[in-house]
A and B are shown apart, each in its own frame.
Chain A
Amino acid sequence: MKIILKNVRLLNPEQKLNQNSDLLIVDGVITRIGTVAAGEAKDARVFELNNKYVVPGLFDMHVHLREPGREDEETVVTGCNSASAGGFTGLACMPNTSPAIDSAEIVSFIKEKARNHLVDVYPVGAVTMGRKGEALSPMAELSEAGVVAFSDDGCAVKNAKMLRLAFEYASMYRLPIIEHCEDESLEGGAMNEGVTSTFLGLPPMPSIAEDLVVMRDIMMAEYTGGKIHIAHISTKNSVEILRQAKKRGVNVTSEVTPHHFSLTEEALKTYDTNTKMNPPLRTRQDVEAILEGLKDGTIDAIASDHAPHSIEEKEMEFIYAPNGIVGLETELGLALSELLSKKILNMEELVEKMAINPRKILNIPVPKFAEGEIANLTIIDPEVVWTVDVKAFKSRSKNSPFDKRLLTGKALGVINRGKMFFDDKFFAI
């Protein structure tokens, strides 16, 4: 099958590519870049795109797919549908499933579920068995089964000794450790510590709980020569610690979630449990430091920490409600509204943080625009204004603090693995 994307702005910073063009895609493969001749266009389906961006397919490196274990909240397939609708063609899924991703069987199980989907799914293996922090997972076996990183996400690797062993062992396979940085002895609160937590009477989560572990992990990575990726960075001090570490040449990267650059702890004043997350929403100063970190490259990637939860679980008393929000379908809209529109990042930088850097961190090839390459791309309209409606989410869960929010910019569609998602529909191309 032939399709033509007519009049697109083809952008791939990795190839230093930024040009107006048409794209002819035959059976999922790019066969012409430039002007597509009338003859070639015969019996092709044509999409007139009026100068919309076409960029390498976006990649979210921090997604909770919930399968196996909580299929009532999300499955591999519904999560991938959600990713497609949000403009993503690839994702890495976190191992805090039930059972955890700590065996080759679970890795294969997830890959099998995703086999026919447009979205590439890369499992992240657990650092320790059952994420308990007591014994290393079979990292060699997991690596062979295809995991792209290790993480005990949900919590940090329990102690310094385990972390050291993990860095040493994982370095044999050149795989990074992704860390959820939170000191165990300081955990257990429900929101950021400060005057607002006092006002609201909610148990506090101090920012130092994150900073201490960011510091520990960076120093351990430096000591062992391991590769560390800091997940969902949220505090001003952590950004600064990271900036200094990068200056020293430590092998460290980091990601931030859209909620941590677009909301502050003020959002909790309604006690809406959709504002409860871990790390918690922080202060205006923290958000400003994060924006600065995105701008100067201290923060490499944007990732959703997509965390679906059932309505019954989220409609609970605040201290009992689980942490996290669904993120895949608002992520690009928030990045375009809060970063591109507000001139924090330009389009090239945004594509680097949402398509290129996540893949580089995980050693996954970055899609190229060249004749003969598989078409793996996202079509973006950075100007369209739309209203978030959780009821329209493809995700099985609806827990989002962004419902009814007006956003500027979204994905119009995605193409990957011979499939296209456009106009709310999947079809083979």
Chain B
Amino acid sequence: MPLSSRHLLGLQGVPREDIQLILDTAVTFREVLERPIKKVPTLQGKTVVNLFFENSTRTRISFELAQKRLSADTVNFSASTSSTKKGETFKDTVKNIEAMKVDMIVVRHASAGVPQFLTRISDAHVINAGDGAHEHPTQALLDMYSIREKFGRLEGLKVCIVGDISHSRVALSNIFGLRAMGAEVSLCGPATMIPREIEKLGVKVIYNIDQAIRENDVLNVLRIQLERQAGGLFPSLREYHNYFGITSERLEKNGKDIVILHPGPINRGVEISSEVADGPYQIILDQVTNGVAVRMAVLYLLGTLNKADGR
């Protein structure tokens, strides 16, 4: 059965079957990554553009590697647009790339809604690699893959996302994806970083990190953007670390086996201590490897859709 959509713009509204299909397909590609020759000819002759309007070396490299391992032709395009900068508009940039006959566009942009905008002006399959504080679906899929690999399931698991939820695209995609797969999602962070009315998304909010550790099977610890402190959202990095940071003392105190994820890059000593970041509970580097497999699965499933499939 093919995916029900010809784009991956986010996980909101994506049916459970689609997520299941992506994760199962990723298992196959994960095996490919263990072979001596890590390349399959699946997307030979297809052209993928990585259109990054925001710097994100890790995500771009992960996508690029996934594309190469599927034998697709890959082009990287870094650009920047803003409200004030004169020069080529976003639409002109896209029209230009489109004229080069590309099959898929992977896009990262500081504005929410750009992937949707792209589907209106281009015929290519669009994969959202992060739009504003909206969604980052492949990150959530690789998080779910990693959790499922560890527990063998997602259904019934309790997952807490810790940190700056208001400005996070990772959080939103995880909320939608995990809930679709039957997991229970909670959020933990300073109240200034939790969006109003977030409970309407079917999640619980916890302001005490110890409680979050006790009540959950998994913590997905988000990176704290250092400029948020300048914006006054929390008093100091020290206070953040003392009240919301994940440390080994905290994990021991709550005497609990727990799995810790982090989408990277890590601020050691802020949201997570070095001991925990390198310790037995974390699966941070597995996430990175799984990320390539999950992105291969998404590229493969979209790239091999028949014209008639999906909407």
Q: Is the CB of A320 within 8 A of B83?
A: yes
- Is B225 in the interface zone, CB < 8 Å from A? no
**Interface contact A271-B90, CB-CB below 8 Å:** no
A320 & B172 in contact (Cβ 8 Å cutoff): no
Indicate if the CB atoms of B196 and A200 lie closer than 8 Å: no
Given contacts A317-B81, A317-B117, A318-B111, contact A195 B201 (CB under 8 A): yes
- The range of chain A's interface size is 20 to 34
Whether A320 contacts B81 by the Cβ 8 Å rule is yes
A202-B132, A203-B133, A270-B116 known; A317 vs B196 contact (CB < 8 Å): no
- Chain A: CB-nearest residue to B195: A198
Majority-rule SS of A interface residues: loop
Complex Cα distance A318/B117, Å? 9
Q: In chain B, what residue has the closest Cβ to A311?
A: B91
Q: How far is B89's CA from A321's CA once the two chains are assembled, in angstroms?
A: 11
- Decide: A315 and B198 in contact? CB cutoff 8 A: no
Q: Per-residue CB proximity of B81-95 to A under 8 Å, as 1/0?
A: 111000001110000
A195 / chain B contacts, CB cutoff of 8 Å: 196-198, 200-201
A312 touches B113 (CB 8 A): no
Contact of B132 among A201, A206, A322 (CB under 8 A): A201
Report how far A405 CA is from B172 CA in the complex, Å. 33
Closest to A200 in B: B112
Q: What residues of chain B lie closer than 8 Å to A136, measured between beta carbons?
A: none
Whether A194 touches B196, Cβ cut-off 8 Å, given contacts A315-B89, A316-B90, is yes
CB distance from A244 to the nearest CB of B (A): 25
Cα A318 to Cα B131 in complex, Å, equals: 11
Given contacts A317-B113, A317-B117, A319-B110, contact A202 B134 (CB under 8 A): yes
Q: Which residues of B contact A321 (CB under 8 A)?
A: 83
- The answer to whether A271 touches B89 (Cβ under 8 A) is no
Scan A190-204; emit 1 where CB is below 8 A from any B CB, else 0.
Answer: 000111011111111
C-alpha gap A206/B196 in the complex (Å): 10
Contact with B along A397-416 (1 / 0, CB 8 A): 00000000000000000000
CA distance A318 to B91 in the complex (A): 12
Cβ distance A266 to chain B, nearest Cβ, rounded Å: 14
Does B125 touch A at the CB level, under 8 Å? no
**B274 near A: Cβ within 8 Å?**
no
Interface bits A283-325 vs B (CB < 8 Å: 1, else 0)? 0000000000000000000000000000010011111111000
Q: Check A271–B113 contact: CB distance below 8 A.
A: yes
Bound together, the chains give a CA A132 to CA B195 distance in angstroms of 32
- A95 and B137 CA atoms in complex are apart in Å by 45
Q: Give the distance to chain A from B45, nearest Cβ to Cβ, in Å.
A: 31
B114 within 8 A of A: yes
Q: Are B113 and A198 in contact (CB under 8 A)?
A: no
- What is the distance, in angstroms, from B180's C-beta to the closest C-beta of chain A? 15
Given A193-B196, A195-B200, A271-B117, residue A202 in contact with residue B89 (CB < 8 A):
no
**Which A residues from 362 to 418 make CB contacts under 8 A with B?**
none
List, in ascending order, chain A residues with CB within 8 A of B198's CB: 195, 198
Chain B residues 117-173 with CB under 8 Å of chain A are 117, 131-135, 169, 172
Find out whether the CB atom of B197 lies under 8 angstroms from the CB atom of A317: no
Chain A residue numbers with a CB within 8 Å of B110 are: 317, 319
B216 at the interface (CB under 8 A from A): no
Q: Which among B83, B169, B197 is the interface contact of A316 at CB below 8 angstroms? A: B83
Question: In the complex the two chains form, is A317's CB within 8 Å of B135's CB?
Answer: no
Known: A198-B195, A271-B112, A271-B117. 10 other contacts (CB 8 A): A200-B113, A201-B135, A201-B169, A202-B112, A202-B133, A270-B116, A271-B116, A316-B91, A317-B109, A319-B111
Give the interface of B toward A (CB within 8 A). Answer: 12, 81-83, 89-91, 109-114, 116-117, 131-135, 169, 172, 195-198, 200-201
| Cross-chain pairs A/B with CB under 8 angstroms, 21 sampled | A193-B196, A195-B200, A198-B196, A198-B198, A198-B201, A200-B113, A201-B112, A201-B113, A201-B132, A201-B134, A202-B113, A202-B132, A270-B116, A271-B112, A271-B117, A316-B83, A317-B90, A317-B113, A318-B114, A319-B132, A320-B83
Closest 7 CB pairs of A and B: A201-B134, A271-B113, A317-B111, A201-B112, A320-B83, A319-B111, A195-B197
